[in-house]
Amino acid sequence: MRKIVLFQPEKPANTGNIIRLAMAMDFSLAIIGPVSFSLDDKSLKRAGMDYLTGVPIELYPDLDTFLSGHKKYDAYFVTRYSPNVYSDFDLSDPNRDQFYMFGKESSGLPRQLLERNIPRTMRIPMAINARSLNLSDSVSIIVGEVNRQQGFHGLALKEAIKGKDSILH
């Protein structure tokens, strides 16, 4: 199982976009609280569109509860402070349980968590003067790399909804 994990997300629109991404890219989603908005929030629904019902969302009250239930997963923690570039990891086995944790928009993941897991932290290279990327953009980059390394396992490689010749009509 491949899982996106959001640690205390703060912006409903980002979370809605990530829900939509999780559904389209065949990832599950976990949210670690507390969360500062309702999952019924209007902007979350607008960003997630009708995908909100297609993605089961696991809710955890705190980090320890989440981690204790995912000890057998390959864990990856995305942070700008990592010495490791995300593309240097071998994420190619679609049969391994993996989770990719992203921190809250204002302050990222807890420092103690990162210090305990430095070999499993990953960064997205950016311009030197850039402080950060949008959370949903960061999730998209990592999910895209995972899917690329896994040969887009389980994803449609040809247009399935409108038909293979839809570009010609």
Whole-number pLDDT of residue 146: 98
| Average pLDDT of the residues in 39-68 | 74
Whole-number pLDDT of residue 169: 66
Q: CA-based Rg of the chain, rounded to a whole angstrom?
A: 16
Judge whether residue 90 has pLDDT over 90. Answer: yes
User: Of the ranges 22-36, 60-74, 129-143, 152-166, which one carries the lowest mean pLDDT score?
Assistant: 152-166
Whole-number pLDDT of residue 56: 81
- CA pair distance 143, 138, nearest whole angstrom: 9
Decide: helix, strand or coil at residue 85. Answer: strand
Q: Residue 94: is the preceding peptide bond cis (ω within 30°)? A: no
Specify whether the CB–CB gap between 91 and 145 falls below 8 A.
Answer: yes
Using one digit for the tens of pLDDT, what is the confidence trace for 109-164? 999 999 999 999 999 999 999 988 999 999 999 999 999 999 999 888 888 777 76
pTM as predicted = 0.90
| Average pLDDT of the residues in 81-94 | 97
Whole-number pLDDT of residue 159: 81
H-only helix segments in the chain: 12-25, 42-48, 63-68, 111-116, 135-149
Specify whether the CB–CB gap between 35 and 41 falls below 8 A.
Answer: no
Burial of 58 (0-12, 13-18, 19+ CB in 10 A): middle
Burial of 73 (0-12, 13-18, 19+ CB in 10 A): middle
